[in-house]
Structure 1
Amino acid sequence: MNISRSIHLVLALASAALAGTMPGIAGAETIRIAIGTQDTTINCATGGLLIRELRLLDKYLPRTGKYKDITYDVQWKNFTSGPPLTNEMVADKLDIGAMADFPGSLNAAAFQKAGKKSVFIAPLSGNAIGTGNGIVVPADSPIQSLAELKGKTISVPFGSTAHGMLLRAIKRQGWDPDKDVTLVSQSPEVGGSALQAHKVDGHANFVPFPELFTFRGFARKIYDGSQAEAPTFHGALVNAAYAQKYPEIVVAYLRAAIEADRLMAAEPEKYSELIAKVTGIDAEVDYLFHGPLGLQNRDYTWKPEYRQALQTSIETLKLLKRTDADLNADSVIDDRYIREAFRLEGLDYDARLKSYDKQPLTAKDAAAGKRIGEPKLAAQLWLQGEPKVRAYAAPEAAFVALRQAGKDGKKARVLYVHDRNTGLKLLADKVWYVQDGKGRVSAFLLKDSADSWAKSHGGNVRDFAAVTGSGAVAVASH
C-alpha cells in the first residue's frame, strides 16, 4: 500500500472510530486546539508565531463532514524553553507543542511515565551538521576556543538541546564533565546577564541566543554546534491520542506551517521584522536564520540526521540517568501527518527528503549585476532605511558598498559573510579574515581556522576593522 493510500486509511479509520464512540460529533459545540510555542526560539516561527500572528490555521481547519458544525477553540501559549511546555502537555493543558530534539526526548519520556504517548509529527527547522547551538564567551575574553574553557565555568539551560550539544562537545574533548569543567544551569536571559557581568567564562545556548548575544556586542561565539558533528532540529509534537482522534486537525496545523514557510521564503525581511516586533529578537538575527543561506533550514521532512539526533538525545538522557523509558526515535516519530500535508499542498515529500539545499541566494550582485555563483564567497548588506537586503558576490564588494554608505551618511544594520570552510552565515563584524596580496578576503568564524587558511594559502589574518579599511567604517551599534 502506498503512503497516500495509507494516510487516507488512517484518517478514515480514525473518523469511523470517532463516529462510533461519539455519535453526533457534528453537533458537538467545541474542539480545543491548544498549541504551545517558543516564540523567542525563532527557528520555530513557522510552526507557531507566524501561524498565530497571520491567523493561518483558520484557513485549513476542516469544516465539512464530521466537522461541519464544529466551533474551534484555538488557544496559544508561549514558553521560553521545552520543559515547562512538556509539563502542560502531559497535564492535558496543551495538544501540540514545539521544541528541540533533546527536550522532545524528555517530552516522550514524561508522556510514557504518565501512561500516555506523544509523537513528533514534523521537524520545523534544523541543521544536519548541528548549527544552531553554540558556545559564546564575553566579548573581551581572551578565550578563542572550547579547549581553553577547561577548568572554567560554563552555563547552559539544563535539559535543552544546547545542553546535549555541550555534553557531546565536552566528551569530544576527552573531559570529565564533573571534574574538568563546572556546569551551571542558566536560562538564556540569566546567561546573557552572567556573560555581561563576567560571572561565567562561557555560555552554551540554542537558537538564537549565541548569535543574538554576539550581535548585541557583549559576547563572541567560539564554538558552533556543527563542530560536535551532532545534528539538531526543532519540531512539532502532538499528544498521540489527540492526533488519533483528530488527524485532520493535525494535518491542518502542518499545512499552515507549510504556508508560513512559503511566506518567509518569499519575503524574509518583512517577516523577520514581524518576528522582531513580537519577540524583541533583532530582525537582523531573525534574517540570519530565515534569510537565504540561513544558519538553519526550514525543513519539515524526517531526514536520517534528524532521526539520529532524536536517537542520540534519547541515549544521552539514559546516560545521564534522566530517564529509563523504553524509547527509540522510530517509536517517537510519526511522519504520516506531514506526508499527508505535503500531498494536500501538491508537494513532493520524498523529493524534499532527499534535498539538503538551503534557501538559495537568487539575487544578483548589487554592484556588478551578475549572478552570484559561489555561496561561500557571498556577502549581504542590510542598510538602515532600505527594506531589502543587498547581495554581493564577494565580501570585498560589500565592503566597498559599506564605505560608500558611510560617505552618504547611511549606517549598516548588519553585514553577513560566509565561513570559507563551512559556508556558515556569519555576522561580518564579529569574525576573522584572511586577506591575500590582491586584497581578496576569506571569512572564518574561528581564529584557528583563519590561521590555518593563511598558513596553507597565504595571506594575513585580520579583523573586521582592518579589512574594511578604517575605524570609521562600522556596522551600526546594537
Structure 2
Amino acid sequence: MKRTVAALLTAATVTSLAACSLDSQTQSDDTVTVVIGYQSKTINTVTAGTLLKAKGFLEKRLDDLTKSSDVKYDVQWQDYDTGAPITAQMVAEKIDIGSMGDYPLLINGSKTQANERARTELVSITGYSPTGALNMVVVPPDSPARSITDLKGQKVSASVGSAGHGTLVRALDNAGIDPKTGVEVLNQQPQVGASALESGQAQALSQFVAWPGLLVFQDKAKLLYDGAEGDYPTFHGVVVRRDYAGQHPEVLDAFLQAQLDATEFLNDNPLESAKLVADGSGLPQEVVYLYNGPGGTSFDTTLKPSLIEAFKGDVPYLKSIGDFADLDVNGFVNPDPIQKAFADRGQDYDAALQSTTNPSALRGQDPVCNAPVTDAKLAGELWIDGRDATQPSANPDCLLRAIREATAAGDTIRAAYVPDTEFGTRWFADKSTWVRDGQRHLPFDTAAGAGRYTAAHPGATIVDYQQALAGAV
C-alpha cells in the first residue's frame, strides 16, 4: 500500500507537469495568475470550488482589485477527482490554492513542507461534520453484509490517501480488524471503484461524498456504514502555498472573501446552490441537495479547535499508509487570513468559531401536520417536482404523511430527506430502514442502526418503506 501511495503521487506529479506549462506566479508584468485546484464532485468543497466558480465570486473580487491597481488577474480552474493530484501540482508549484478532505490535507502538508516555495498552510474550512458523516461505506444492494465487521477478508475499493480511505481505516480499527491485513484495499478512483462494486470485483466501496449517496440514489448500492458511527469529526479545507500567499496576499484575501460570499449564498439559497453545483459537477441535483441542503454538511469557514484536535488525531494515518514526514499541525494551520477576512467584513470571527450549530437548518411551517419545524433531529424535507421550494416536515411521520398525500394527488416526488434516528445524518427517506415503535416510525440510514434500536426496544419492529408510508398517522 505504501508503494501504491508513492506511485499515485508520482504519477499525478508527472501528469500535472505535462499538462501545465504556465508558471503560476505571473503571466506577465501586469497580470497575476492564480491557479485553483478543486474537485467538482467532492461537494463538501463547493464553496471553494464548484459553487465558487459558478457564481464568479473570486473573479468579481479580483476585478475590484484591478479597478484600483491596474493589475490584472487570470484565474485558472483545474478540476480533479481526488486530492492527490492537487497535492502533486502544489509540490510542483503549479497550483496556488487547493481544497480537499482532512486526510489528503495531512498528506498535502507533509509532502509540501520540504520545499519553501511549495510549502502549504491550511487557511480555512469549507464544510465539516462533527460526527464524521461526510464519508461512508456502501455495498451492493443484494449484499448479505450488515456491518463493517462483515467486510473482513473482503475486497474494498477506496482511493488510498483520501478521506474515504481514512474513514475505512478508522472504522476497521474501531471494529477490531487490522486495516492492513483484515481487508484487501483496491486503490481505485471513485468512478473506477463504483464500476468495481457493480461488477462484483469489489464487495464494498469506501468513499467521500457524493459517491455513497450517488450510488444509493441510483439503486446501485446500499449504505453499510455511516461515518457518523465513528463519532469523529471530519472536514474539508483550503490550503495555499505560503510562497504564493507571501507574494500575492491580496489574492488570498480575495479568495477567502469570495469563499465567504459562496458560503453565505449556499446557506441562504441551498436549493439554487444545489442546481448550480449539479450543473457544474454532472451529479444529480437530488444527490447534491442531500449533502448541501439544510441539515447536511455544516458549511462554516472557521478553523474550529475541535476540528484541529481531530486533525492531530489523524496524523498516525500518515505512518500507516506510507513513509511520510511528520507534520506539525500547529505550524500547518494558519487562522490569520480567515480572521482578517471576517474583520474586513465587520463580522465576528470568534463568535462564528464558537458556534457549533449548522448554519443551514430546516425552518418553517409543516403544512401537513400544521406544526412549526423546530427540532433539527426530527425535521424532514419533501421535494415535489415542478415546485420552486421544498416542503418542511416537523418529524418523520409528518414526512411520511406528506409523501403519501402528494403521491395520492398525482405529484411526482423528486426526493424526500430525513435525519437518521441514531446519528442525525441526513439521508433519503425511501432508502432508509424504517422501524415502527408504537405509533411512531423511525428512520435509520443503515440496517445495523435499525437492528441496534430494535434490540434495545422490545416491541419495535422493522417495516419496509411502503408499510411505513401506509402506517404513518
Task: Give the residue type in structure 1 aligned to 2:272.
Answer: K
Q: 1:62 to 1:314 in 2, by over 3 A?
A: farther
Q: Does structure 1 conserve the Cα–Cα contact (< 8 Å) formed by 2:125 and 2:237? A: yes
Q: 1:163 to 1:455 in 2, by over 3 A?
A: closer
**1:431 to 2:450 alignment:** no
Question: 2:21 maps to what in 1?
Answer: none
**1:348 to 2:348 alignment:** yes
Distance in 2, Cα, partners of 1:53 & 1:187 = 25
205-214 vs 390-399, greater mean Cα deviation: 390-399
Distance in 2, Cα, partners of 1:176 & 1:326 = 23
Q: String of CA shifts for 1:228-249, please: whole Å, max 9, x gaps.
A: 2332111111000111122221
Give structure 2 stretches of 5+ with no counterpart. Answer: 1-25
Q: String of CA shifts for 1:211-266, please: whole Å, max 9, x gaps.
A: 11111111011111122233211111100011112222111101111111111122
Q: 1:58 to 1:227 in 2, by over 3 A?
A: same
- Where 1:113 maps in the other structure, the secondary structure is coil
Runs of 4+ in 1 over 4 A off after TM superposition: 62-67
Question: 1:452 maps to what in 2?
Answer: 452
- Where 1:377 maps in the other structure, the secondary structure is coil
Task: Give the residue type in structure 2 aligned to 1:131.
Answer: A
How do 1:331-370 residues align onto structure 2 when only pairs under 5 Å count? 331-358=331-358, 359-370=360-371
How do 1:187-226 residues align onto structure 2 when only pairs under 5 Å count? 187-226=189-228
Distance in 1, Cα, partners of 2:229 & 2:455 = 21
**Offset of 1:468 from its aligned partner?**
1.4
Q: Does structure 1 conserve the Cα–Cα contact (< 8 Å) formed by 2:228 and 2:425? A: no
Q: 2:149 aligns with which of 147, 150, 157?
A: 147
**Offset of 1:370 from its aligned partner?**
2.6
Distance in 2, Cα, partners of 1:136 & 1:63 = 46
How do 1:97-136 residues align onto structure 2 when only pairs under 5 Å count? 97-115=98-116, 116-136=118-138
**Offset of 1:315 from its aligned partner?**
2.4
Q: String of CA shifts for 1:322-371, please: whole Å, max 9, x gaps.
A: 30x24221111111110111111222111111111012212211224431
**1:389 to 2:425 alignment:** no
Q: Does structure 2 conserve the Cα–Cα contact (< 8 Å) formed by 1:156 and 1:187? A: yes
Q: String of CA shifts for 1:169-211, please: whole Å, max 9, x gaps.
A: 1111222233321111111101111111122111100111111
Using structure 1 for the length normalisation, give the TM-score. 0.88
Q: Does structure 2 conserve the Cα–Cα contact (< 8 Å) formed by 1:314 and 1:328? A: no
Task: Give the residue type in structure 2 aligned to 1:113.
Answer: A
Task: Give the residue type in structure 2 aligned to 1:461.
Answer: I
Q: String of CA shifts for 1:84-103, please: whole Å, max 9, x gaps.
A: 11111221221101111111
Q: String of CA shifts for 1:153-181, please: whole Å, max 9, x gaps.
A: 11101110111111111111222233321
Q: Does structure 1 conserve the Cα–Cα contact (< 8 Å) formed by 2:436 and 2:442? A: yes
Task: Give the residue type in structure 1 aligned to 2:446.
Answer: L
Q: Does structure 1 conserve the Cα–Cα contact (< 8 Å) formed by 2:50 and 2:281? A: no
Q: String of CA shifts for 1:390-423, please: whole Å, max 9, x gaps.
A: 1111222222222222222222111111112221
Question: 1:407 maps to what in 2?
Answer: 408
429-438 vs 62-71, greater mean Cα deviation: 62-71
Question: 1:308 maps to what in 2?
Answer: 309
**1:72 to 2:35 alignment:** no
Distance in 2, Cα, partners of 1:377 & 1:70 = 52
Q: Does structure 1 conserve the Cα–Cα contact (< 8 Å) formed by 2:159 and 2:207? A: yes
Q: 2:233 aligns with which of 231, 236, 241?
A: 231
Distance in 2, Cα, partners of 1:64 & 1:132 = 36
Q: 1:384 to 1:128 in 2, by over 3 A?
A: same
- Where 2:416 maps in the other structure, the secondary structure is strand
Q: How many residue pairs align between the two structures? A: 443
Task: Give the residue type in structure 1 aligned to 2:283.
Answer: I
Task: Give the residue type in structure 1 aligned to 2:60.
Answer: K
Using structure 2 for the length normalisation, give the TM-score. 0.89
306-315 vs 70-79, greater mean Cα deviation: 306-315
**Offset of 1:452 from its aligned partner?**
3.3
- Where 1:244 maps in the other structure, the secondary structure is helix
Q: Does structure 1 conserve the Cα–Cα contact (< 8 Å) formed by 2:65 and 2:71? A: no
How do 1:46-65 residues align onto structure 2 when only pairs under 5 Å count? 46-61=47-62
State the Cα RMSD in Å.
Answer: 2.1
Question: 2:9 maps to what in 1?
Answer: none
**Offset of 1:63 from its aligned partner?**
5.2
Question: 1:10 maps to what in 2?
Answer: none
- Where 2:299 maps in the other structure, the secondary structure is coil
Q: String of CA shifts for 1:3-28, please: whole Å, max 9, x gaps.
A: xxxxxxxxxxxxxxxxxxxxxx9x94
**Offset of 1:293 from its aligned partner?**
0.9
Distance in 2, Cα, partners of 1:280 & 1:365 = 32
Task: Give the residue type in structure 2 aligned to 1:435.
Answer: R
Q: 1:173 aligns with which of 175, 179, 185?
A: 175
Distance in 2, Cα, partners of 1:132 & 1:445 = 13
Distance in 2, Cα, partners of 1:437 & 1:459 = 7
Distance in 1, Cα, partners of 2:369 & 2:438 = 23
Q: Does structure 1 conserve the Cα–Cα contact (< 8 Å) formed by 2:378 and 2:418? A: yes
Q: String of CA shifts for 1:86-143, please: whole Å, max 9, x gaps.
A: 1112212211011111111111222123454100110101112211111000011121
**Offset of 1:456 from its aligned partner?**
3.7
- Where 1:346 maps in the other structure, the secondary structure is coil
**Offset of 1:270 from its aligned partner?**
1.2
Distance in 2, Cα, partners of 1:279 & 1:66 = 32
Distance in 1, Cα, partners of 2:200 & 2:322 = 32
Task: Give the residue type in structure 1 aligned to 2:400.
Answer: F
**Offset of 1:67 from its aligned partner?**
6.4
Task: Give the residue type in structure 2 aligned to 1:285.
Answer: V
